[in-house]
Amino acid sequence: MTLKRPAERRGATSTGASEMLARKAETIFIEANRWALIAILSLMAVLVFTNVCLRYFTNHSITWSDEVSRHLMIWLTFIGAGLTLRHGGLVAIDNLQAVLAGRQARALRALVAAIMIIFFLTMIWAGKIYVERTMFQTTPSTRIPFGYIYLAMPIGFGLLIIHFLLVLKTYLAGGMGALQQSDDAPPVAG
């Protein structure tokens, strides 16, 4: 029987503790993303419902509600893409991966993952340019610079990269189908 030195035991414990801390940080990140989506969707619902009620009962409406709802929908879409990816809910054509053997399928998924990350980075760059170019144009009703609305694009793709990197190991092992789970909880890196 080999006895481990205290330093070796601490190393094993600190690895477990750091893994637990990483999982806790990931859970907090997922929950923050979910609550941001809930807040945006709730705000949209309240705004649209209030406007419909005002139109029906008073024959007046909130002039900026349609515009703000549309802009919130843009933010909702981009911020929600990462969580959708975690659930395996994004469109994926994986017929070729399904017929390939283990190593070949994993290599193909690694290539697809690299292409996805390159695309996400390209969209962050394009979104940044788009934000800069539209910062001086304002929306018709609220007079908010369009750049703030289109800021959803680089932020959303940044979140998408983080979510993808957190589930990359699962994706490489089984593709988008491996990300789909029967329960509602998104897969956590592991």
pLDDT of 7 > 90? The answer is no
Tokens coding 88: 């395996």
Per the prediction, the chain carries an average pLDDT of: 87
Q: What is the CA radius of gyration of the chain?
A: 22
Helix (H, G, I), strand (E, B) or coil at 145: strand
Rounded Cα gap, residues 19 and 1, in angstroms: 28
Rounded Cα–Cα distance for residues 150 and 155 (Å): 9
User: Do the Cβ atoms of 190 and 90 come closer than 8 Å?
Assistant: no
Instruction: Confirm if 85 and 165 have CB atoms less than 8 A apart.
Output: no
Q: What is the pTM of this model?
A: 0.82
- pLDDT above 90 coverage of the chain, percent: 66
Which residues, in sequence order, are bridge partners of residue 138? Answer: 145
Residue 169 CB neighbour total at 10 angstroms: 12
Contact yes or no for 97/109 (Cβ under 8 A): yes
Confidence tier at 3 by pLDDT (50, 70, 90): very low
Helix ranges (DSSP H) in the chain? 6-58, 65-86, 95-99, 102-134, 146-150, 152-166, 168-174, 176-179
- Euclidean distance between CA atoms 81 and 148, whole angstroms: 19
Average pLDDT, integer, range 112-135: 96
Rounded Cα distance, 144 and 148, in Å: 7
Sign of the C-alpha dihedral, residues 58, 60, 66, 68?
A: negative
Question: Which region among 89-98, 134-143, 162-171 has the lowest average model confidence (pLDDT)?
Answer: 89-98
In Å, how far from its chain's centre is CA 171?
15
Higher-confidence position of 87 and 154: 154
23 vs 9, higher pLDDT: 23
